[in-house]
Every structure is written in structure tokens, then in C-alpha cells.
Chain A
Amino acid sequence: MCDFCTKHGTGKYWYKWASRYARQMYHRNRVERKSEGGVKNLEAQFGALALQAIEAKNLEPERFPELLATVNRMARDIHTGQVITLEDALNIIDLASPIAFIACDCRRQLHGYIERDRSKMTCLGLGIGMFRWERLPSRYVAGAEFVSDKEAKEWLKEWNKKGMVHTLMTFGLRNGAPYIGGLCNCTYADCLSIRWRLDYGIEQLLKGERVAVLAHPEKCTGCFQCVARCQFGAITANVRDGKPYIDMTKCFGCGLCETGCKHGAIELVDRRNFEVLKHSW
């Protein structure tokens, strides 16, 4: 059980609470920002520190573990994401309102690319804060386009088909609870969170609540669609029986293998059923 669930979900999935998306959360956020005054600087500090750690991996490897530990400690309170399945993402669309398409900030920073065409947008802004997007045009470079639940769901399924991982983003702890502000569809090519987690071990992206299991090996035909769809290198082809081999310790529980499997051979199982895996996030 990740500490988000124990702290903020009273033992259930922390993001499946309607109150997480309520207006009060956003106001709490604003009030605390004003009273503390230093929260914004903390975000900038965190960014600078993360970049320092990343650079140190190559230039000063002896300092890297220490910097990484500091960054990981800060990440939970400042800006974290968690991998979620398509099913959970669709649930969240029901819970959260309003929903708006926004341009991806990772893609802008990593590739200098701003998607102005809606067919290329992969990020959703969630919650009441989106109504105030005009305050920060430097972040919402392509504006915000408010959409209905139905449209958003169709769009999520579309990206899932193309093999994008759904991640839920939080922006700061407010009054001890994470403020959920975004739902992204990412790949290693564009997403800084996935890159930083896989390349440097920065826990800005947490593993999902479930893990993939080859539950029905008799249904598997050995097409290896699941191997092609896994972003995290957890599934490889197994020569012995011509079926996929799933490394559960590497699995992030995104569920792409499950939705990609036409025969229903892969199932997602709750991480908490495994005594060791339930401590790995």
C-alpha cells in the first residue's frame, strides 16, 4: 500500500474519492499558498534540485545517491504522479469536473513542441482550477478547451489504443492531502516523469495500484502484442513456451498489456495481494 493510500485514502485508492476533486480542495490550496508564501519557491527549488541530481549521475556519481534521496523525499509533497489503468482513468473522468484539454508541458520542455491541434493533445487539466487557466498563459500556451465527459472518455480510449500510459498528476500537498490537477497520457518519448523514473530512479512517478499477471496462459496465442505495448520493459518474449514473461517487479501496472491482449490472457491483480510488491512503489 503506497503511503498516499494510507495517508489520504483511508486504506482505499487515494484518487477514488470525489472530495479530492471538489472545489474546497482548490481553495484550500490557494489559502495555504497565500499564508505560507513560500510554496511556489519550493516548487522551483525542487525542479532545480532534480536537475542537479540528474546531472550528477554522469558528472559526480559519488554525490548522486545523496541527491536522489533528497529529491525523492521532496517529490511526494510537491509534484507526484501515479500510473493508473484505463478503467481508473475513466472513473476519474466521472469524478472530476471540469475537464479541459491542455498542451503538454513535458513535450514543450523536452522537444520545444507545443501541440495546438486537439488531435495531438495528450493532457487533461482536472478540477476547478482549470477555470482560471487564463491567469497563467505562460503554462497553458495553447489555451484550455473544456470538453464533456463523453468526449474525454472517447479520447482516453483512443490514446490507450495507441499505447499511452495514463498518469494522474498531483500538485502539492494542501492541508495534508494531494491536490489532483492533471491526467496525462504519456510515453517514454515525451514524458519527463517516466524518463526520470526509469533513467534516474526519481520517484516523481509512482507505480500503479495493480500488477499484470498472465492469468490465463491457455488463452495466449503468442502474438506478443503485450511485449510491444509495455513501456517499462517488464514483458519479454519467453522462448520456452512461446508466451510472454512478465517481470512483476518492473511492472508499473498501467494495464496496456491487458487492453492490448485480444484474447484476455492477461489480468491485472491488486498489488496488495503480494507481500513484497505492496511495498514497492
Chain B
Amino acid sequence: MVIRMTAKVKITIDYQKCTTPFACKKCIDVCPGDVFLVTPNPMMIRKYQPIDENEPGSYLLLAPMVFKCVGCMKCVEVCPNDALKVEIKPPQPEIEAPQS
């Protein structure tokens, strides 16, 4: 029997509000666990054309590495547009049946 105790973290980003994450990157600078990624939007990549960080939608903010989130909530505080929402589900003992 294994009892797992992990808090589940769900970070939702409102892309209507967060449009130029590369120019802003306040949440990225403040995050101690480096949860966020800013990737160039694949739809905006053009040959022979540089990507403009100030153009809305040129970069996308992602939050895949939630495994590394420590729950400091600094990203929510620091976001100028209130685009981030962090939901932390406290750990519940999950009981796994023994494998026979």
C-alpha cells in the first residue's frame, strides 16, 4: 500500500489578458521554481521575419512545470493584468491497492 501526499497545482492563464508575456515576464522573474515557459507562438513564426516581443500574441506564456510550484503565490501578486490563477488542491492520501 502506497500513500501519496502531493498537492495538486493548477495554474490557469487568461490569454485575453496576458498578451505580451516576453516583454513583461514579471511572473517568470519572480517564480522560484521556474514553473513558466515563454515560447514563441508557432502561428507567428515566419521565415525571414524577426519575432517582435511587443506584438500581442507573438509569445505564449505556459505553465507546464507545476511539479516545481512551491505555492508562494508571488506570480499572482505581481501580474499587472490579473491574468494568472493558481488553484492548489491540498494533498489527500491516495491509497493504492497492492499489486499482486
Nearest Cβ distance between residue A218 and chain B, in whole angstroms?
42
Q: Is the beta-carbon distance between A137 and B51 smaller than 8 angstroms?
A: yes
A61 at the binding interface (Cβ < 8 Å) = yes
- Identify the closest chain A residue to B4 (Cβ): A61
Contact among A44, A61, A109, A199 for B68, CB-based, below 8 A:
A199
Q: Tell me the bound Cα distance from A44 to B51 in angstroms.
A: 18
Q: Is the beta-carbon distance between A137 and B8 smaller than 8 angstroms?
A: no
Known: A112-B25, A112-B28, A138-B46. A200 touches B51 (CB 8 A): no
A145 at the binding interface (Cβ < 8 Å) = no
Contacts of B42 in A (CB 8 A): 44
- Identify the closest chain B residue to A111 (Cβ): B28
**How does the 8 Å CB contact mask read for A25-60 relative to B, with 1 for contact and 0 for none?**
000000000000000000010010001001101110
Q: Tell me the bound Cα distance from A135 to B39 in angstroms.
A: 19
Contacts of A110 in B (CB 8 A): 28, 34, 37
A276 at the binding interface (Cβ < 8 Å) = no
Contacts of A138 in B (CB 8 A): 40, 44-46, 49-51
Q: Tell me the bound Cα distance from A137 to B50 in angstroms.
A: 5
Q: Tell me the bound Cα distance from A54 to B64 in angstroms.
A: 6
B6 at the binding interface (Cβ < 8 Å) = yes
Q: Tell me the bound Cα distance from A111 to B47 in angstroms.
A: 25
- Identify the closest chain A residue to B34 (Cβ): A110
B67 at the binding interface (Cβ < 8 Å) = yes
Q: Tell me the bound Cα distance from A51 to B42 in angstroms.
A: 15
Nearest Cβ distance between residue A187 and chain B, in whole angstroms?
13
- Identify the closest chain A residue to B59 (Cβ): A112
A141 at the binding interface (Cβ < 8 Å) = yes
Q: Tell me the bound Cα distance from A12 to B86 in angstroms.
A: 50
A136 at the binding interface (Cβ < 8 Å) = yes
Contacts of B46 in A (CB 8 A): 138
B76 at the binding interface (Cβ < 8 Å) = no
Contacts of B22 in A (CB 8 A): 112
Nearest Cβ distance between residue A8 and chain B, in whole angstroms?
29
Contacts of B69 in A (CB 8 A): 58
- Identify the closest chain A residue to B47 (Cβ): A135
Q: Is the beta-carbon distance between A61 and B25 smaller than 8 angstroms?
A: no
Known: A59-B8, A138-B40. A200 touches B67 (CB 8 A): yes
Nearest Cβ distance between residue B56 and chain A, in whole angstroms?
16
Contacts of A199 in B (CB 8 A): 65, 67-68
Within 8 A of B (CB), among A60-91: 61
Nearest Cβ distance between residue B65 and chain A, in whole angstroms?
6
A108 at the binding interface (Cβ < 8 Å) = yes
Nearest Cβ distance between residue A65 and chain B, in whole angstroms?
13
A158 at the binding interface (Cβ < 8 Å) = no
Q: Tell me the bound Cα distance from A268 to B44 in angstroms.
A: 46
User: B10, B34, B37, B39 — which one has the most chain A CB atoms within 10 A of its CB?
Assistant: B37
**How does the 8 Å CB contact mask read for A116-156 relative to B, with 1 for contact and 0 for none?**
00000000000000000011111101000000000000000
Nearest Cβ distance between residue A4 and chain B, in whole angstroms?
27
| Interface set of B (CB-CB < 8 Å, partner A) | 4, 6, 8-10, 21-22, 25, 28-29, 34, 37-40, 42, 44-51, 62, 64-69
Q: Give 12 new A-B contacts, CB below 8 A, not counting A44-B42, A109-B38.
A: A59-B10, A109-B39, A110-B34, A110-B37, A111-B28, A112-B21, A112-B22, A112-B29, A137-B49, A138-B50, A138-B51, A199-B68
